[in-house]
Amino acid sequence: MQKNPIPMEWYVATLGALTVPLFVYGKIPIWATFVTWAGSFLIGPTFASMKKLFPTLIVGTTSGVIFFALAFTLDPLTGMVALPNSIIVFVMTLALLYLARIPAFGLVPGIFFGFACFVGVALAAQASTIPALFVPWIHATLALLLGPLMAWVSVAPYLPREVEPVQLTPESVAVPAEDLTSTS
């Protein structure tokens, strides 16, 4: 295997720096990308792992939208914040943990990465109505889905390549004697 000439630390630091324009110009919350970039290493930055993580991240951000929609509806109706929101969190957590019994949604940390990061993005956006949750949902979801891809890109050049086995036959390894005795 040929050794990669760029030290991994320099390569990963460069990838991290290249995400900054996404934050500055695309308004993508890169801090959320870093959450799932690092979190991907808990399960291995592979395509198989991404197939497990992606659905749970989407469930997590979607559950964040549901939480805020319920809070925006119930808080004014009850005139309280702590009690209704505590009840919403309890019921949603219970529902999400039961949902995780379905294999496609079994990676529970992904659900809570998605929920927590969406809450952070929505609060930063100061969304105060249900329709105002859509843009933070898009931004949070895209940022979270980018993380596992960045994890894979950050290690892919350093992974050993699979080598196809070569079938050796006596003819392929035999060298005629005259080739061994010839002098140049």
> Could you tell me the residue range of the domain that residue 123 belongs to?
8-160
pLDDT at 125: 94
Number of domains in the chain: 1
Q: Please check whether residue 88 lies inside any domain of the structure.
A: yes
The whole-model pTM stands at: 0.81
Backbone angles phi, psi at 68, to 5 degrees: -65, -40
H helices of 79-183, where?
82-99, 108-125, 134-155, 170-173, 177-181
Q: For residue 10, give Cα distances in angstroms to 15, 58, 156.
A: 9, 31, 14
Q: Please check whether residue 123 lies inside any domain of the structure.
A: yes
CA distance 108 to 5: 38
pLDDT at 168: 64
User: Per residue of the chain (184 residues), what is the pLDDT tens digit?
Assistant: 456 778 889 999 999 999 999 889 988 999 999 999 999 999 988 999 999 999 999 999 999 999 999 999 999 999 999 999 999 999 999 999 999 999 999 999 999 999 999 999 999 999 999 999 999 999 999 999 999 999 999 998 887 777 666 676 666 555 566 655 655 5
pLDDT at 1: 47
Q: Please check whether residue 177 lies inside any domain of the structure.
A: no
pLDDT at 27: 84
pLDDT at 160: 74
Q: Please check whether residue 98 lies inside any domain of the structure.
A: yes
